[in-house]
Structure 1
Amino acid sequence: MKNPFKNWFSGPQRQKDMQTVEDNQLYAQMFDLLNERLPIWVGKEPKEFITKGYMYNDLVYSLVTLPMGIAKSIDWLAHKIVNEKAYREYQYAMKGVKSGKNYKQNLERAIHYKRKALEEVTTGPAMKFIQEPNGYQSLNEIVEEYFGWLPTVGNFYLYGLPREGTKQFASVHVAPAFDVEIIAGTSFDPILGYRLRNYLKTNDIIPKEHILHLKNWNPDFATDGRQLYGLSPLQAGARILTLDNMGIDTSTGSFQNNGVRALIHKAITRGSFPEEFTREQAEALKIEVDKWKGTKNAGGLKMTNAPIQVTEIGKSPVDLGVYTAMDKNAVRLCNLFQVPPELYLPGTTFSNKLEARKQLITGNILPKMDIFRDKMNRWIVDNLTEGSTRYHIDYDLFSIVELQDDLSDIANMYKGIDWVTDNEKRHAMNYDAIDSELANDLFIDPFKIPMSQASFDTSFDRIDDELKRLKSKAY
C-alpha cells in the first residue's frame, strides 16, 4: 500500500526515507492480514490469567506479590545531569551490576560515576513526577502495577494525558492490561493506536504516542499481528498451573469429604451380593469399630471372628501423590516467574534464603526496574527540560536493604586504603563531600619508612654466626 501522505513531507531525503519504509518486504509479509483500524486479535483471553492464576492460586499470588512489594519499596530520586560522559559511564557500570559479573567492582564504579554525572534535586518537574504522576498515585505505586501486570498478563500500558501546546504529559495513568487492544495500522506501520475493549462509550482510538507499552517477548508470530502483544508466563505454564489447581481442589475435596473412607460388609454372599447386616449387628459393629479409632491404635491390628470384609472407597491426597506433585509444581512455577525456589521450599536455611532473596533482586527485579527507568526517562523526563537543564530519574540502590552487605564490603575495603582522600571515600559510599581542605588531602602513616632506610639489620647473618659460635663452643 502506497502512503497517500508521502508528498506532504518536504525534502527529497524525507521522501526517500518514506519510500524505504513502504518497500519493507519483511513487514509487508509479516503483517499481510492486518485490517486497518480494526483490533488485533489478542489470542488467549488475558483476563483468565488473573481469574484462574493470580486470584485463584495462592502460589502464583505470592510469586507475583513478592517482587512487587520489594520493587514498590525502592525509593526514587530526581537528578540534574551535570556530566554527560560520566553519565554514560554510570549507565554502562549499572549494566555490569545487573549482569552479576564482577558485581562488587561494577557496583563501586556505578556509585563513583553516578556522583560525577548526576546532582540530586528535591524540587522541579522531575521530582514532581516522582511524587505525583497523577492525582491518586505516586511513582512507586505505578511501579507496583508494572510488576503486577507484566508477569500475569505479559503487558503493561501507561497512558499519558498530553498537556496542550507541549510535548509534556499533564499526568500518566495505568490502563487495565487485560482490556487494552491494539488497533491495526498498515503493514509498514502496524500499530495505529490503542483502545479499551470493554469501555466502548466512544470509538475514539488513543494515539500510540500517548501509550507506553511494555511487554514480554512473544515469539508467536502471525500475519494478523498477535506478536505485538506480550506473552504471559502463565500461558507457557498453563498445564503446570492447571495441575497445581487440580491438586489444591483434590486436597480440599478430600478434607471436605473426609467422612466415610470405607464400606464394611459381610464376607458371606447371597447370590452376587454380600449378605446384609441386621440393624443390631450393624450398631454393635459400629461401636466396636469406634473403639479401634484414635492415635493410640494407629497402625495396629484388630482381629474378629465375624466374617466381615472392608472395601476402601477413597484415597487420601498422600496416597494419590498429590502433595509430592504440588511440591514439584511449586519449583516449576518459581522458575516460570524467575523467583528462586529456595524462598518457598521447606528446609531452606536462613542464610540460603537471604542469598536467594538477593538473587531475586539482582536477577529479576533490578533488570525490570532498569527497563522501566529508561522508558520513563525517554518517554517523560526528557521532555521535562528547563532551559538547558536535563533531568534524570533513577531508583536508589542504597534503599535496597539486601544490597547493604555489598556496600559494607566496599566501605571496609576503603577503610584500610590510605592512597585515596576522605572525600573520595565518602563519594564512593554516596555521601556528600566535607567542606574542608583536609578532607581532600592524603594522610600517610608516620611510622612507615622505606625498607632501604631502615637502621636495623634485616638479614639472618648475625643469627647464623651466633649459632655457629654456640655449636663450636659445645664441642
Structure 2
Amino acid sequence: MGVLDNIWRKPKLPTVKNPVAVVSPYATPMEMMFRFTGDNQVVWYADGGSNLIKKGFLENHVIYTIQDWKCSKVASVPPVLYRVKNAKAYKKYRALLQNPTDESLIQARIEKYKALEEIENSEIMNVINQPNPLMGWYQFAYGYTLYKDQVGAAYFMAVRSGSVNDKTKGKIKQMFLPPAHHMRIISGGQFQPIKEYYLQTSPSEKIEAANVCRIANFSPQYENETQHLYGLSRLQAAKNILLKYDEGTTVEANLLQKRGIRDILFRKTPDTGNPVDSVNQQGTFEQFMETRDVWEQRLEETTSGGIMVSESELGSIRVGMSIGDLKILESQKVTKEDLCAAWHIHPMVVGYQGQTTYTNFPEARKMAITDAVIPELEALKDALNNWFLPSYGEGYVIDFDLDFFSELQEDKKAKAEWLDKIPLSPNEYRTAMGWDEDPGINSNKIMVRTGKVILDDIGIESYPSETEVDPDLVDLP
C-alpha cells in the first residue's frame, strides 16, 4: 500500500510499552492534556491543525464565509504558461506586484507584455489543469489556499515519470494535495532542516523532500527544531478572537432558546402587613394556572387594538437580557470585523458591515483582491515555477491573468489619460488597456504625443516676442 493510499485515512497515534509522549508540532505547554492508558502510557494531545480546521472552518460560519470568498477568488484565476523573453522586464514586473496599486497594476501589465510570451505546451498544462485524478485546478488551488490560511502551510506531493531507482528525478506527472494537518517533517539537523516527510496516517512510509513542495506562512515559533517550518496559522494568531466569538454565539443561542424577553403577569393585592393574608388573596398554584389559561385565551380572542377587561388590578415583571448579555451580543459585530482584518478582507465584502454604500463597495472589493488574493497567487506562482516547472526544463514560467478580476478593471477614461502621458508603442498601449496586439509594422515603435505646435506652422500669426518691435510704432510722436 503506497503513501497516497493513506492520505485520507484517519490518523492513529502509535502505542508502545514504555511511557511515550507523542507531541503535535502545534503544541505549546499550556495546551497539552494528559491521558493515562494501560501500561502507564502517557499521550499528549494538543490543539493542532485538525482542531483549528474543525473549530475555525467547519464550525464557524464567519470564518467559513471569509475563507470561502478568498479561496474562490484564488482558485478562479486561470494559470497561463509563458516563456521569458526579457529577464529584466520580468524582474520589474514581479516587483510591481509585491505592493499592488492602481498605477503599479497598469505599469505591471506593460512590463508583462515586454517580459513574457504566451506559449502552448499541452504536456505541462494538462498537469496544471488536472493535477491528479481526483482534483481539477479549481479544487487544487482552493485547497491550497485553505490549508495555508487554516493550518499555516500547504504541501504538494509529486508523482514523477523518472527512474525506478531514483524517485526524485523525472517529469512531475501528477500533483496531490495531502491534508496539511497530517504532514510531519523529519529534520536532518541544522544544515538539513527538512530531510523527509511522512503522513500522520502512515508514519512508516517516508516521502523524499524533493517530491514535496512546502508553501508556508512565516512563523516565529522555535520551541522545537521543526516547529517554525510548519508555518503560522491565521487561526492560531486570532485564537482569542475566535474563542470570544464562540462564547458570544453560545450566549446568543441560549437567549434564543429562552425566547428572549418575557413578562410575568400577576394580580396585585392590597398590602395588609400580614404575609398570610397576602398568600390567601393570591391563591393556590392551581388557581395561578387557571388564571394563566384564562388570560392566554383572552389574548387569542382579542384582536389588535381591541379592549381587554379585567376584574382585578394586574401587575407585570419583565424578565429579559442582562447588561452582560447585551454587551456580548454587541461585541459580536466587532469580533467579525477583527476576523476579517486577520484575512485582510474588508467586512463590507462579506456582508459584515451594517452600512454599505455603492460608492465604497467596489473600492473595498478591490482592496480585498490586492491585499488578500494577489499575495496568495504570487506565493503559488513561485512554488510552481521553482518546484514543478524545472522538471520540464528551463525557460518556462506560470503566471496568472489578473485581468480576470472585474474589481481591478480601472476606469477606462482615467487610465487612457494616464497612459497618454507616457511614451509607449501602440501595442504597449493596447496591452495596458486590455486589448489584443496589432500586427502592424509600426505597432511596436515608440509614439510621442506632442500636442503642441507653433501657430505660424498652421497659418496663424503669433504675437510678437518681447525682443521684436513693430516697425509701424517706431516713428509715432
Provide TM-score, normalisation by structure 2: 0.74
Aligned mate of 2:383, from 362, 367, 375: 375
Measure, in 2, the Cα distance between the counterparts of 1:446 and 1:83.
29
Letter in 1 for 2:236: Q
> Counterparts in 2 of 1:314-463, with a 5 A limit?
315=321, 320-343=326-349, 344-385=352-393, 390-405=395-410, 409-414=414-419, 420-429=424-433, 431-437=435-441, 439=443, 449-453=453-457, 455-459=459-463
The whole-number CA distance in structure 1 between the counterparts of 2:231 and 2:93 is 30
Partners of 1:221 and 1:227 within 8 A in 2: yes
Once the 2 structures are TM-superposed, how far is the Cα of residue 133 of structure 1 from its aligned partner?
Answer: 2.1
65-74 or 224-233, which moves further after superposition?
224-233
Q: What secondary structure does 1:204 align onto? A: strand
Q: Which residue of 2 aligns with 1:41?
A: 25
Give the residue type in structure 1 aligned to 2:388.
I
TM-fit CA distance, 1:378: 0.4
Worse-superposed segment, 122-131 or 448-457:
448-457
Structure 1 gap segments, 5+ residues each = 1-37, 462-475
**What code does the residue aligned with 1:345 have?**
Q
RMSD of Structure 2 on Structure 1 (CA): 3.8
Distance change (3 Å), C-alpha of 1:227 and 1:64: same
Contact 2:153 2:180 in 1 (8 A): yes
State the 1:349 CA deviation. Answer: 0.9
In the TM superposition, residue 277 of structure 1 has moved relative to its aligned partner by 3.0
CA drift of 1:301 comes to 13
CA distance in 1, matches of 2:185, 2:80: 33
Identical positions, percent = 23
Q: Distance in 1 between matches of 2:186 and 2:23?
A: 4
Post-superposition offset of 1:77: 0.6
Question: How far apart are 1:106 and its partner, in Å?
Answer: 2.3
Matched, 1:246 2:251: no
Please give the residue correspondences for 1:156-167 in structure 2 after superposition, counting only pairs within 5 Å: 156-165=154-163, 166-167=169-170
For 1:295-310, what aligned pairs fall within 5 Å after superposition? 305-306=312-313, 310=316
Q: 2 CA distance for matches of 1:407 and 1:72?
A: 27
Distance in structure 2 (CA, Å) of the matches to 1:196 and 1:173: 13
Match for residue 119 of structure 2 among 118, 121, 126: 121
Asked if residue 180 in structure 1 is aligned to residue 178 in structure 2, the reply is: no
Match of 1:90 among 90, 93, 101: 93
Please tell me whether the aligned partners of residues 39 and 181 of structure 1 are also in contact (alpha carbons under 8 angstroms).
no
Could you say what secondary structure the match of 2:220 adopts? coil
* Cα separation, partners in 2 of 1:338 and 1:411, compared to 1, 3 Å: same
- 1:137-175 deviation line (CA, Å, top 9, x unaligned): 233322111111122122211111233233432211101
Q: Residue 354 of structure 2 aligns to which amino acid in structure 1? A: P
Q: Is the 8 A contact 2:25 2:48 kept in 1?
A: no
Change (3 A) 1:39 1:382: farther
Q: Which residue of 2 aligns with 1:148?
A: 146
CA distance in 1, matches of 2:362, 2:309: 51
CA deviation vs aligned residue, 1:383-430 (integer Å, no higher than 9, x gap): 212xxx51111010111111112566434544x579655334224335
Secondary structure, aligned partner of 1:122: coil
CA drift of 1:189 comes to 2.5
- After superposition, residues 228-239 of structure 1 pair within 5 angstroms as 228-239=229-240
Q: State whether structure 2 residue 210 is matched by structure 1 residue 209.
A: yes
Structure 2 residues without counterparts, runs of 5 or longer: 1-21, 28-46, 164-168, 270-274, 466-477
2:93, 2:112 within 8 Å by CA — same for their partners in 1? Answer: yes
* Amino acid across the alignment from 2:85: V
Change (3 A) 1:114 1:65: same
Indicate the larger mover: 337-346 or 282-291: 282-291
Residue 279 in 1 paired to residue 286 in 2? yes
Change (3 A) 1:341 1:259: closer
Deviations 1:117-149 (A, max 9, x none): 211123343323322222232333221111111
Aligned partners of 1:271 and 1:180: how far apart in 2? 76
| Matching residue's letter, 1:203 | S
Q: Give yes or no for contact 1:111–1:428 (8 Å, CA) kept in 2.
A: yes
> Residues 441 and 40 from structure 1, CA distance in 2 versus in 1: closer, same or farther, beyond 3 angstroms?
closer
- Structure 2 counterpart of 1:375, which letter? A
For residues 108 and 260 of structure 1, the distance between their equivalents in structure 2, rounded to whole angstroms, comes to 57
- 2:77 is aligned to 74
Within 2, Cα distance between the matches of 1:460 and 1:339? 61
Cα 1:89–1:258 shift into 2, 3 Å: closer
- Specify whether residues 172 and 442 from structure 1 end up closer, same or farther in structure 2 by C-alpha distance, changes over 3 A only: closer
8 Å CA contact retained: 1:40, 1:224: no
**Larger helix fraction of residues:** 1
SS in 1 for 2:331: helix
Pick one of 102, 109, 112 that aligns with 2:110: 112
Check 1:86–1:281 CA distance in 2 against 1; reply closer, same or farther (3 A cut): closer
For 1:284, the aligned partner's letter is T
Cα distance in 2 between the residues matched to 1:259 and 1:113: 60
Secondary structure of the equivalent of 2:181?
helix
The AA in structure 1 aligned to 2:353 is L
Cα offset for 1:245?
Answer: 1.9
Distance 2:133 2:210 in 1: 22
- Name the CA distance, whole Å, in 2 between partners of 1:277 and 1:324: 42
Contact 1:79 1:120 in 2 (8 A): yes
CA separation of 1:185 and 1:459: change in aligned 2, threshold 3 A: same
TM-score by length of 1: 0.75
